[in-house]
Amino acid sequence: MIKEVKTNKAPQAIGPYSQGMVANGFVFCSGQISLDPETGKIIGDSIRDQTEQALKNLFAVLKEAGSSPGRVVKTTVLLQDMADFAEMNKVYEQMFGGFKPARAAFAVKTLPKNVLVEIEAVATV
């Protein structure tokens, strides 16, 4: 069985996709950026602020799916600039509380709404 994950504690999808999907004991979370779930506006100008908000949004989707940050098995981090990697990494480590899921990080040409970071995850439910 496949079930859509939908919460108002994370930004609504801005395209033809879901915030997340639960299937076979896993939740597959769409990439989250630093949008405020209530206003739809970008939060923060710095990589630090944007990473924190993107992870808050991701964690809200995980919670709605019946999962948590400690059940994440893989993340993908997309950065506008690899020069932001070290600062993003500090926030990421703090917010995951020392838990270390598998991860890939890439620099890409542009991200939605021209944000600095987007983060997606796969977790167990």
Positions of E strands within the chain: 2-5, 20-23, 26-32, 72-79, 102-107, 117-124
Residue 53 · residue 68 · CB < 8 Å: no
CA-based max dimension of the chain: 41
Domain count, the chain: 1
- Using the predicted structure, report yes or no on whether residue 15 has a pLDDT greater than 90: no
pLDDT digits (tens, 9 = 90+) for 56-97: 999 999 999 999 999 999 999 999 999 999 999 999 999 999
Position 46 scores a pLDDT of: 98
Reduce the DSSP state of residue 98 to 3 states and report it.
Answer: coil
Instruction: Count how many residues are written for the chain.
Output: 125
pLDDT of residue 35: 97
How confident is the model over 43-55, as a mean pLDDT?
Answer: 97
State residue 63's pLDDT score: 98
Q: What is the CATH number of the domain that holds 41?
A: 3.30.1330.40
Q: Is 90 exceeded by the pLDDT of residue 14? A: no
Owning domain of residue 37: 2-124
The mean predicted confidence, pLDDT, of the chain is 97
